[in-house]
């Protein structure tokens, strides 16, 4: 099943996509309810709550298929890691990358869907896309094993983790993440594909989908990647994310960028003159086997207002650092 969110009659509806037709559901059936249902329950909900005739996909405005309560973005493709390190002049990743599936939290308020415009963030000159898969949580869970995690997957979708590379570079070494370099746009879509539809793409217990990017309708010359090359499986990512934390229906976990899935990796081998950063008018299309394609158009953004430098040398309190804890 392909689960979508659409605009309909001035509101938002859950819907099911079948080839080029879209079946809206009644307003009381939310995407979260579909995600949290078992496969038989989900089929029953669609059968009993279909609302009106099917619509042509070309006549429907698709929205981000889910409004995630939380959005975690991992880094599981070693080739992308190597390309990123080359740009930074590093030779090898820190050992911790091999010990656990690392992630950061991204901005759920910046989630957009297929065909939505992406404004160049203020002050950015090096705008980049990032081709990722994402897993969507169905059933809530905490402290899961990888084996248990499989039962908590509602489906998979495409994820474009847009990046302002020049805004990230000066702040990332500070250790607080990419700050404004990742704060402006997260494309998710075009729909959520349930695991049963992707079973033919399973390889050695892992999802093996071919992935590639098209820029203005032309596939990038370095080719794409396959999700089988992830260093950690989606189940392992979910298990790690659920340690001491509850995952809830609609939570999204991104795979991290695949190999050759962003301009940054091209810049590791070529200059930004040879491979220019994104500019207004560019159309970025992510394509995943078994899921489909999602496009977004870059548009001009706002100017960055000037801020003053930090105030320093402010008066300090006189403090006592002597422990006062009693038994």
Q: What is the pLDDT of residue 127?
A: 98
CB-based burial, 26-48: b 16+ in 10 Å, e otherwise: eeebbbbbbbbbeeeebeebbee
Look up the CATH number of the domain holding residue 265.
3.90.850.10
Rounded to 5 degrees, what are φ and ψ at 7? Answer: -85, 135
Q: What is the pLDDT of residue 327?
A: 66
In a domain, 8, yes or no: yes
In a domain, 103, yes or no: yes
Name beta bridge partners: 24.
Answer: 15
Q: Are residues 175 and 216 located together in one domain of the fold?
A: yes
End position of a domain, from candidates 30, 45, 63: 63
Q: Are residues 188 and 237 located together in one domain of the fold?
A: yes
Q: How far apart are alpha carbons 78 and 230 in whole angstroms?
A: 7
Q: What is the pLDDT of residue 172?
A: 82
Q: How far is the CA of 149 from the CAs of 31, 188, 192, 290, in angstroms?
A: 20, 22, 18, 22
In a domain, 326, yes or no: no
Q: What is the pLDDT of residue 115?
A: 97
Q: Are residues 218 and 284 located together in one domain of the fold?
A: yes
Residue from 81, 118, 116 nearest 277 by CA: 118
Q: Are residues 55 and 156 located together in one domain of the fold?
A: no
Q: How far apart are alpha carbons 56 and 107 in whole angstroms?
A: 32
Q: What is the pLDDT along the chain (327 residues), one digit of tens a residue?
A: 999 999 998 999 999 999 999 999 999 999 999 999 999 999 999 999 999 999 999 999 999 999 999 999 999 999 998 887 777 666 677 899 999 999 999 999 999 999 999 999 999 999 999 999 999 999 999 999 999 999 999 999 999 999 999 999 888 877 788 899 999 999 999 999 999 999 999 999 899 999 999 999 999 999 899 999 999 999 999 999 999 999 999 999 999 999 999 999 999 888 899 999 999 999 999 999 999 999 999 999 999 999 999 999 999 899 888 887 776
Q: How far apart are alpha carbons 171 and 34 in whole angstroms?
A: 40
Tally of structural domains, the chain: 2
Instruction: Give the residue numbers spanning the domain of 274.
Output: 71-299
Residue from 100, 169, 91 nearest 128 by CA: 169
């Amino acid at each position: 099943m392909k689960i979508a969110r659409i605009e309909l009659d001035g509101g938002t509806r859950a819907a099911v996509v079948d080839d080029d037709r879209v079946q809206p559901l009644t307003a009381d059936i939310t995407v979260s309810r579909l995600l949290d249902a078992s496969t038989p329950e989900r089929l029953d909900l669609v059968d009993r709550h279909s609302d009106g005739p099917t619509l042509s996909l070309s006549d429907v405005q698709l929205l981000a298929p889910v409004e995630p309560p939380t959005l975690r973005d991992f880094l599981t493709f070693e080739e992308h890691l190597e390309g990123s390190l080359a740009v930074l002049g590093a030779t090898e990743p820190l050992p911790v990358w091999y010990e656990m599936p690392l992630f950061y939290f991204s901005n759920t308020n910046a989630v957009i869907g297929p065909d939505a415009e992406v404004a160049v963030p203020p002050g950015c000159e090096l705008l980049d896309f990032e081709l990722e898969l994402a897993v969507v949580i169905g059933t809530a869970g905490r402290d899961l094993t990888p084996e248990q995690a499989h039962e908590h997957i509602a489906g998979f979708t495409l994820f474009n983790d847009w990046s302002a590379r020049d805004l990230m570079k000066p702040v990332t070494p500070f250790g607080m993440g990419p700050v404004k370099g990742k704060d402006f746009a997260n494309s998710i879509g075009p729909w959520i594909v349930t695991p049963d539809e992707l079973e033919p793409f399973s390889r050695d217990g892992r999802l093996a989908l071919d992935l590639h990017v098209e820029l203005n309708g032309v596939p990038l010359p370095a080719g794409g990647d396959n999700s089988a090359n992830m260093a950690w499986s989606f189940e392992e990512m979910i298990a790690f994310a659920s340690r001491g934390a509850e995952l809830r229906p609609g939570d999204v976990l991104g795979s991290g960028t695949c190999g050759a899935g962003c301009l940054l990796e091209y810049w590791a081998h070529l200059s930004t003159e040879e491979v220019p950063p994104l500019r207004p008018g560019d159309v970025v299309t992510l394509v995943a086997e078994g899921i489909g394609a999602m496009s977004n158009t870059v548009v001009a953004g706002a100017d960055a207002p000037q801020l003053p430098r930090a105030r320093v040398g402010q008066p300090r309190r006189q403090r006592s650092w002597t422990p006062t804890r009693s038994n």
